Structure 1
Amino acid sequence: MKIDEILEKYIEKIKQELSFYNNNSYSPYSKFKVSSVLLILDNKSNLVNFIGGTNIENSSYGLTICAERVAVFNAVSKGLINNYNNKWLSLFLYVPVKEFVPPCGACRQVISEFVKDIPIVVFNKEFEFKIYYLSEIFKEVFGPSFLK
C-alpha cells in the first residue's frame, strides 16, 4: 500500500490516534508533546494495526524516551516485527508546533533496526504534513554487518 493510499483511507483515524497519544504525553519539563503511530499490515488477516506511542520524559533527562521509539517498542512487544507476517507501512508523528519535526537520530537508528525504508509522515499543529523517507534522512546506518 502506497503512502497516498494510506493517507486517503486512514487519515481521520490517524489524526484521532495521534491526538489521543499526544494528550497522554508525559512532558512536564520541556512541554514538547510528541505522539507517534505506526501502521502495520497483518499479512494473514489483511487488517491494519495502529500502534501508538507518546514521549515520556524523566527528571533525569537522559532517561527520556521519544514517541517514535515507544511506538516501535510497543509493536515489537506485541510481536508485530516487520517480517513475512507483518509489514510496517508507515510511521506518523504529530508535534503541535508550527514546524515539521522529523525523528531524532536515536529514533532513526531504532527504526532502521526493523525496516530499511518507511515513509514517515510528520504533522504540525495545523495537521499539515510533510513526508520523509527513512532512507533519505538516515543514509549511513549502523547495522548488524558492523558487528561481525
Structure 2
Amino acid sequence: MARRLAEAALQARENAYCPYSGFAVGAALLTADGKLYTGVNVENAAFGPTNCAERTAFFTAVAAGERDFTAIAIAGGKANEAAKDFCAPCGVCRQVMREFCRDDFQIILAKPDAVRVFALKELLPESFSPDNLNGQE
C-alpha cells in the first residue's frame, strides 16, 4: 500500500504549479474504502493564497463527501528533478490531517527509491483536535 501511494504522489507531483519557489509537491490520499485523491501545491504571486499538495488532496476529497482517511503519501523536491530527499508536511497540513484523521493515520514520505512511514501522532504530538472542542480530551 505504501509503495502504491508513493507512486501516485510522485506522479501527481508532475502537475504542481510552482513558478515562484520551484519546489514541486504531490500528495496521494487514501480513503478507508480505497478511493484515491491526489493533490499538488498551487502557488500564487501573492504567496498567502498558495495551497499545499496535502491540503489540495484533503479538500478535494472532502468536497466529494469523503470523511474517513487511512493514509497519505507526500513527495516533493526541486521541480523538473527527481525527488532526492523526503518531504514532510508543514504544520498547517498536519493540523488539517488532525481535523479528519485519528492518531494512527499513516503519513508516507516518498522519493523514487524509498519511503518512510509515520503515524500522525508521531508528527503532531499533543495535537489540538475536534475532541478538544467537544470536551472529550
Same fold (TM over 0.5): yes
Q: CA RMSD in A?
A: 1.8
Runs of 5+ unmatched residues, structure 2: 78-82
**What residue in structure 2 maps to residue 119 of structure 1?**
106
Cα deviation 1:48-102 (Å, max 9, x = unaligned): 11111000000111111100001111110111111xxxxx221101114322121
User: Structure 1 or 2: larger helix share?
Assistant: 1
* Partner of residue 34, structure 1: 25
Q: Paired residue for 1:25?
A: 16
Q: Sequence identity of aligned pairs in percent?
A: 34
Q: TM-score, normalised by structure 2?
A: 0.84
Structure 2 partner of 1:51:
37
| 1:81-139 deviations in Å (ceiling 9; x for gaps) | 11xxxxx2211011143221211000000010001221111112x33111121101101
- Greater CA drift, 108-117 or 91-100: 91-100
**Do the aligned partners of 2:110 and 2:116 also contact (CA within 8 Å) in 1?**
yes
Query: How far, CA to CA, are the matches of 1:13 and 1:146 in structure 2?
Result: 32
| Paired amino acid for 2:39 | G
Q: How does 1:33-112 map to 2 (within 5 A)?
A: 33-42=24-33, 48-82=34-68, 88-96=69-77, 97-112=83-98
Q: In 1, Cα distance between the equivalents of 2:58 and 2:46? A: 22
Whole-Å Cα distance in 2 between the matches of residues 134 and 36 of structure 1?
A: 15
Once the two structures are TM-superposed, the CA of residue 18 in structure 1 deviates from its matched residue by 2.0
Give aligned pairs, total: 128
Query: How many angstroms apart in 1 are the aligned matches of 2:133 and 2:6?
Result: 36
- Gaps of at least 5 residues in structure 1 are 1-5, 43-47, 83-87
Task: Point out which structure has higher relative CO (alpha carbons under 8 A, 6+ apart).
Answer: 2
TM-score normalised by the chain length of structure 1: 0.78
Name the SS for the 1:71 alignment partner: helix
